[in-house]
Structure 1
Amino acid sequence: MALVQDVPEHLNASSVNSYGREVLLPRAGLVTLSAIMAVFSVTAVLLNSTVIAVTLRHRQLRHPLNFALVNLAVADLGITLTGAVPSVVSNAAGYYIGGRVGCVLEGFSVALFGITALCTVALIAVERLFVVCKPLGTILFREKHAVVGVAASWLWSLLWNTPPLFGWGNYELEGAGTSCGPDWQNRDPKNLSYIICYFVLCFAVPFVMIVVSYSWLLWTLRQVAKVGGGAAAKAETRVAWMVVMMVVAFLVSWMPYATLALTVVFKPDMNFSPLVKVMPIYMAKSSTIYNPMIYIYMNKQFQMYAVPFLLCGRNPWPPEDEETTEVQTTVSALNNRVAPE
């Protein structure tokens, strides 16, 4: 990136960040990004806080699947507060305002919450695989499995995002130069070895788990649809499709960023336009609103509590019909199903 004295004429002084490096977008582009991310940030905080608060308030929502969903909401909230909100401020200012320490803290925090979210999506897909496809026969997904999975998602993310704080890897400015993340461009052998390990173990492994579980789920749902079924089959299908939608939304949000990072690692000389460098980063940060939206819309049991919570006690949607109520009751029973100890 260019130094201060090499700033192009079309960029003013506010287009150079606190590192003395060129910000890739003009002032109008930064203001637009700031406004868009402000809308996403407010929405993400509201929706993810609702998922957490409503689940904690209502005992009937505290079943194994919701352990992972609440964990995902916590991770998404963390991404918003440590990544999206600072980007709103920096883009509005026209340069990265956090300095070196702020960049490291932001890069570490966003990566920690982001990988935790990715691992949690993998956990949700595996949980539905156990409930719907029953790959191990009568062995069920219990509450203790959900707790272990949630804890493992945080420990795994912490394990692989801490090394840059101690010299193996690095956090650096990325995108437009107004946000921070892992240093994908540094060709130093020590940094490169970290990036390769990081990508394989924190992106590829969860991705493979998601794809395998997702494919198995879709195949099973097609078989269930062919033979039909009662309320239990409808309930399992409803929840499984919700998980499928969440997985698709997450992958659509994060795959462009992962693809760009992988390309930068293995083809460092390839030139990208500023838009290509910026859009995948903000697509990934926008992922924090899709999961709670899908969850509130597709989970009728949760919807019954979340909508009045958001609208201060009012629920504009009509009462459920008898069939839907039966399916909703069965969903609750299936989600609370725990194998004997």
Structure 2
Amino acid sequence: MSSRLQDICLFNSSENVSTCVASGHEQLPDAMYAVLAVYLFSVTIFGILVNGAIIYLYFSRKEIATTSNMYVVALCICGFLIAILGVPFAAASSIRHEWLFGDGLCKVHGFLLTGLGIVMIAILTGIAIDKYIFIVQYQSHHKVTRSVTLAIIIICFVYGVTWAILPLFGWNKYVLEPARLTCSVEWTGDIGNHSYAITILFTGLIIPVSIIAYLYTSILKRVHSQRVISQRIVSHSRKIKIIKREKRIAMTLFMMVASFVIAWLPYSVYGLICILGYSNDIPLIWHTIPSAFAKASILWNPMIYSSRSNAMKKALGETYPFLRWMIPRNKGQQKLPGQTTLIQMNTSNGSDAIFVQSLCDNRVISTSL
């Protein structure tokens, strides 16, 4: 809690209640609490439905239960848990204009949101690594087995839980945020709080974003170089199609990175401002919006992956009748001039791929996700 509010509202952990000790306690406008309640309950409902639908598909349809889709379903499990165990508490508190669930659940709430948030970021990095291996280092992709993928996902969960549990043992702590609707780590305070906050900024944002940016840049360079090779052996009309596919790949990768950055960057900037000692200068509403905005990340990632994968769209359309419009048309196989075949197919990692196969040397070049 910022120093501006510490002398106004105290959190009484012995009685597990939030008690205001001054009549002039700063609050958001009533309309803002109503908007937050509607928004957070909407995130809860759609988070359960969207993530739950993909989790169900993974365990009910064999074509979706691929090795790389293990990352996607792990991401959806995190989003599902946040939608059930995290967001509803903040939504209910918005109705009453204060945290309703006591000091103990405040710590649990902060632990879950922090831990699962870091796990999701780690899994997004794992997805980028998987895409990099599949497209850039495709000769080694066969080594990425289900066991290896499962081990990586487990490491991601251990990584997130480890960072989230440290405040429970004295390195920083979980406290109510200034608007008293949700709990998180203490961004202000002594050097111990600052050291933890700065560390998770690096391990939870700067380093993962740097890795993801590097890997996806390498992927785009690889795709571009393969497009140049392909243009030498195809007609003008085929070149146009290849360029369109490359743009689609670039857009998919941009959406992946942008959803990650857009969701978490405002909250990270907010945390940095607090660390630098300017929390008192932030209006109360801006203590609230970055945290609420980050919670929507549980919707964006599964929607992006499901909308950009033909295999996922086909499964969604066949499983849920009201989504039949998502079923893509089967483009099948297209012949190119000479000894070259252009094939569009759903690959073993659950993503759509375009292969340019040169029959003279039996090499297969991946040119799409």
Normalising by the residue count of structure 2, what TM-score does the alignment of the two structures yield? Answer: 0.78
3-state DSSP class of the match of 1:306? helix
Structure 2 CA distance for partners of 1:145 and 1:248, relative to 1, 3 Å:
farther
Q: Which residue of 1 aligns with 2:101?
A: 98
Displacement of 1:236 in angstroms is: 9.4
Hey, what's the Cα distance between the residues in 1 that align with 2:217 and 2:287? 31
Counterpart residue number, 2:299? 289
1:73 aligns with 2:76: yes
Q: 1:188-230 deviations in whole A, cap 9, x for unaligned?
A: 2332232233322233322222121122223223333444479
Question: Is the Cα contact below 8 Å between 1:172 and 1:183 reproduced in 2?
Answer: yes
Instruction: Choose the corresponding residue for 2:210, options 208, 229, 238.
Output: 208
Q: Report if the CA contact (8 A) 1:131-1:140 is conserved.
A: no
Contact 1:122 1:206 in 2 (8 A): yes
The percentage of counterpart residues that share the same residue type is: 20
**Alignment-mate amino acid for residue 315 of structure 1:** R
User: Which protein has the larger Cα radius of gyration, Structure 1 or Structure 2?
Assistant: 2
Which of 54, 59, 63 pairs up with 1:60? 63
Between 1 and 2, higher relative CO (CA 8 Å, sep ≥ 6) is seen in 1
| Residues 23 and 178 in structure 1, CA contact (< 8 A), matched pair in contact too | no
For residues 306-326 of structure 1, what are the alpha-carbon distances to aligned partners after superposition, in whole Å with 9 as ceiling and x for unaligned? 1343446x6135651424899
Is 2:232 the partner of 1:222?
no
The 8 Å contact of residues 175 and 281 in structure 1, kept in 2 or not, is answered as no
Please name the residue that 2:47 is paired with.
Answer: 44
**Contact 1:171/1:181 (<8 A) preserved:** yes
SS in 2 for 1:112: helix
Contact 1:239/1:331 (8 A) holds in 2: no
Mapped contact 2:69–2:349 kept (Cα < 8 A):
no
Does the C-alpha gap of structure 1 residues 5 and 179 become closer, same or farther in structure 2, counting only changes over 3 Å? closer
Structure with the largest fraction of helix: 1
> 1:198/1:305 Cα in 2 relative to 1: closer, same or farther (>3 Å)?
same
| 5+ residue gaps, structure 2 | 11-16, 335-340, 354-369
Write the mapping of 1:2-13 to structure 2, written as runs, cut at 5 A.
2=5
State the partner residue of 1:315. 324
Unpaired runs of 5+ residues, structure 1, are: 8-16
User: Does the Cα contact within 8 Å between 1:24 and 1:177 map onto a contact in 2?
Assistant: no
The count of aligned residue pairs is: 325
* Residue matched to 1:264: 274
1:113 aligns with 2:123: no
The answer to whether 1:276 aligns with 2:286 is: yes
* Structure 1 pair 185–328 and aligned structure 2 pair: CA distance change class (3 A): farther
Q: Taking structure 1 as the reference length, what is the TM-score of the superposition?
A: 0.84
Higher mean C-alpha displacement, 80-89 vs 267-276: 267-276
| Coordinate RMSD, CA, aligned | 3.3
What secondary structure sits across from 2:108 in the alignment? helix
Distance (whole Å) between structure 1 residues aligned to residue 220 and residue 179 of structure 2: 38
C-alpha displacement of 1:44: 1.2
What aligned pairs does 1:246-257 form with structure 2 within 5 A after superposition?
246-257=256-267
The structure with the largest strand share of the pair is 2
Look up the match of 2:191.
Answer: 189
Alignment of 1:80-91 (within 5 A): 80-91=83-94
